[in-house]
Amino acid sequence: MIWGPEQTTASVVAVMLNVLVGASWVICFARFIKAQDDLWRKIMQDAWR
């Protein structure tokens, strides 16, 4: 089994990869929001509240 105690390297690599992908999505979305005009940015931010 890939997540067993003897496979700690695979588990650490998988967790690090997930954290990296998640951080990339946050950065990309922040850049996307900054690139929008003021009205669209306000609409998007209000939709998340």
Query: Which residues touch 3 (CB under 8 Å, ≥6 apart)?
Result: 10, 11
pLDDT at 3 over 80: no
Q: Where do we find the tokens 């990309």?
A: 28
pLDDT, tens digit, 9 for 90 and up, residues 23-47: 999 999 889 888 888 898 888 888 8
* Confidence tier at 9 by pLDDT (50, 70, 90): confident
Q: How far apart are CA 9 and CA 40, in angstroms?
A: 44
Instruction: Give the orientation angle of helix 38-47 with respect to helix 8-35, to 10 degrees.
Output: 140
Stretch 3-8: mean pLDDT: 75
Q: Cβ–Cβ contacts within 10 Å for residue 1, how many?
A: 6
Q: How far apart are CA 39 and CA 2, in angstroms?
A: 48
For the chain, the structural domain boundaries read 23-49
Q: What is the pLDDT of residue 15?
A: 92
